[in-house]
Amino acid sequence: MRIGDILFDSPFLLAPLAGVSDSPFRRLAREQGAAGVVTEMVSSDGLVRGQPATLEYLRFEPVERPIGVQLFGADPGVMADATRALCALPSAERPDWIDVNMGCPVRKVVNRRAGAALLNDLPLLSEIVRRMTQVSTLPVTAKTRLGWDGGSSNVVEVARALEGAGAQAVAIHARTRAEKFGGEAHWELIGEAKRAVGIPVIGNGDVRTPEDAVRMLETTGCDGVMLGRAAFGDPWIFRRVRAFWERGELLPLPTAAERLGAGLRHLRLLVEWSGPAAATREMRKHVAWYVKGLPHSSRVREQVNHTRTVDELATLLRAYLEELASGEPEGFAEPAPSAVPADDPAFPEAPHAAR
Ligand SMILES: Cc1cc2nc3c(=O)[nH]c(=O)nc-3n(C[C@H](O)[C@H](O)[C@H](O)COP(=O)(O)O)c2cc1C
């Protein structure tokens, strides 16, 4: 897949995930074969005002490339200024492309006419992308949903409007705003959008296994596939998806030892990236995902919420690893079930909306 001059070495990208897809998470995904990654959504207002908390979301490591920064906002002038600011960054800090959030369903975002609310206002949506592409030296893309609700599904018109305004690719989460994360994603509409435009279309929604990823490519004709929740506690999903896509091989799921080893490494990366206090806090949810499905994991999930320091957290993970290795040889050797929290979509109620 190609977006502008960016050539991806496979069609499988990590989706933007507010509160989750920070630099350590993105690095783990890239190491395991994600062809590209996107930041958490970043406020265009905060960026233009130079707010330190917002600028923090723009930091990344070279190994994460190709990387897109996802902006959200509804003011075409501010979105253009934010685009200019990103393009003017020194090359080492400049992302490879800029994505616009047109799918966030949370109230704090849609009340400001941003996120999924843009799907109700195609003139504004077009104006935003046009103003951005006019000033951008980087490819501009957008990530949308199918529409606002079942009665106003307009993804084909949205994709055409984006293409007309100069967007170089569109990613489609195959649900409406009203559906949030419920029910099943409607992949067939990704196919309809693909047939309506010439720019690359990236499908997204409910890809949980290598078979799902290849089926999405084959049944919709889309150019790329974005994986979100399937990567929670399971960066290896990208390796498995690639192996299946490249040679039809179904790789084994990671063992408990691999999961806990990755958890310890993830913790180390987070400490280096954001310091011990934030790392301890952030790591709790990741631990819950890494241990999901392992013996006595509910006890570990409970314990991790009471850890106050990095040392306590690392000690807990090491003790659990030893316990599994010595006491429960079968549980230790068995691959862990997939960590995809199908019943636990957990879109955070806009902790990121103020960025
Ligand atoms: C915790 C969480 C945070 C998310 N944050 C964003 C975001 O910042 N920007 C965005 O475009 N989509 C966001 N999404 C939506 C995902 O990128 C993706 O479209 C959705 O999870 C469906 O894909 P999946 O079934 O592979 O998870 C988020 C989803 C979740 C679960």
Write the CATH number for 205.
3.20.20.70
| Residue 347 binned pLDDT confidence (cut-offs 50, 70, 90) | very low
- CB distance 254 to 242 below 8 Å: no
CATH number for 323: 1.10.1200.80
Q: Do 128 and 87 share a structural domain?
A: yes
By most ligand atoms within 8 Å of CB, the mutation choice from 347, 349, 355 for ligand 1 is 347
Domain annotation covers residue 53: yes
Q: Which residues line ligand 1 at a C-beta cut-off of 6 Å?
A: 15-20, 40-41, 70, 101, 103-104, 143, 173, 204-207, 227-230, 345-348
Q: For residue 352, is it within any domain? A: no
Q: By the 8 A CB rule, do 153 and 170 touch?
A: no
Domain closes at, from 216, 247, 278: 247
> Which residues pair with residue 107 across a beta bridge?
none
Domain count, the chain: 2
Q: Rounded to whole angstroms, how far apart are CA atoms 5 and 267?
A: 34
- Residues 127 and 275 reside in one and the same domain: no
**pLDDT tens profile 296-346:** 999 999 999 999 999 999 999 999 999 998 875 444 444 444 444 434 343
Angle in degrees, CA 237, 242, 244, rounded to 5: 95
Beta strands in the chain (DSSP E): 2-3, 6-7, 12-14, 37-43, 67-72, 97-102, 140-144, 170-173, 201-204, 224-227
Give the model confidence (pLDDT) of 249-264 as tens digits.
Answer: 999 999 999 999 999 9
Residue 29's φ and ψ, nearest 5 degrees, are -65, -45
Q: Three-state DSSP class for 202?
A: strand
Same domain for 327 and 230: no
* 132 in any annotated domain: yes
pLDDT tens sequence across 177-200: 999 999 999 999 999 999 999 999
Are 63 and 27 spatial neighbours (Cβ–Cβ below 8 Å)?
yes
Report yes or no on 350 lying in a domain: no
Q: Are residues 307 and 269 in the same domain?
A: yes
Question: Looking at the structure, do residues 79 and 172 belong to the same domain, yes or no?
Answer: yes
Report how far ligand 1's centroid is from the alpha carbon of 36 (Å).
15
Residue nearest to atom 10 of ligand 1 (CA): 16
Do 139 and 260 sit in the same domain of this protein?
no
Q: Which domain holds residue 217?
A: 2-247
Q: Whose CA is nearest to atom 4 of ligand 1?
A: 17
Which residues are CB-neighbours of 62 under 8 A, at least 6 positions away? 92
Q: For 39-58, how does the pLDDT look when each residue is reduced to its tens digit (9 = 90+)?
A: 999 999 999 999 999 999 99
Spacing, Cα 293 to ligand 1 middle (Å):
23
What token pair was written down for 152?
């106003």
Tell me, yes or no, whether 114 and 234 share the same domain: yes
- Enumerate the active-site residues: 104
pLDDT average, residue stretch 130-156: 96
| Other residues' Cβ atoms within 10 Å of the Cβ of residue 165 | 20
